[in-house]
Amino acid sequence: LAKSLKRAEAQVEQHLWEDADEGAVDTQVFYAPFHAVAAGHKPYMGLLLQRMRTHRLYGATLEELEHSFCALRLRLVGEAAGEHLCALRGTHPEAGQLPVLLREGGSYLLEAARRERQLFAAFFEARRPEEALENLLRQLGRVFYEALQPAVAACRLPDALREAAEVLHGDFLEPNEQAAARGGASGVALA
């Protein structure tokens, strides 16, 4: 698994290196190489999950693999997400555009959370809790917060702040309330 993940990571980094001059990078670049190798490893992850009831070493190994996978994903996607959100902040520099910025940034975060959840599921069998995935999504939420917090802090327009709060509540928290209540990945990212 580690070798396959390293090869997929190298492919992503190669694409990023080649596309660095163009500026925008196709989001699929971060996912396609990993999906390509996932099918070959999921049966082994399922076997570890089945056997973890017989000996705790299987469970510890599975958890270590999940955490390692998520740490790798955070290195790849976290930095790119932060850069994208900071660039997005630059396209909406005026305080009155704060609601639009939060709507676009929040949509980006939810899409990243959805893609990461799908990729995780391509490698690992579902189980509760999915601590490694939840931590990854929490960290992506932190990237969102750190990238957009300066725009919120700099906003001195009460109407823009009120509208931004309405956007966060109406567009993201309310529709994902059930996922947040049951600890779903969307809820973790939003929290």
pLDDT digits (tens, 9 = 90+) for 17-75: 776 666 666 777 888 888 888 888 787 887 777 787 787 888 788 889 899 999 999 99
Percent of the chain with pLDDT over 70: 89
Nearest partner of 42 among 121, 131, 117, 114, judged by Cα: 121
pLDDT digits (tens, 9 = 90+) for 167-185: 988 888 887 776 666 655 5
> How much is the pLDDT for 143?
93
For the CA atoms of 128, 136, 147, 29, the dihedral, rounded to the nearest 10 degrees, stands at -120
Q: CA 190, CA 171: separation in Å to the nearest integer?
A: 11
Q: What is the mean pLDDT of residues 72-101?
A: 87
Inform me whether the pLDDT recorded for 162 exceeds 50: yes
pTM of the complete model: 0.80
Q: Is 25 left (phi over 0), alpha (psi -120 to 50) or beta?
A: beta
Q: CA 174, CA 87: separation in Å to the nearest integer?
A: 27
Inform me whether the pLDDT recorded for 163 exceeds 50: yes
> Using the 8-state DSSP alphabet, how is residue 29 labeled?
G
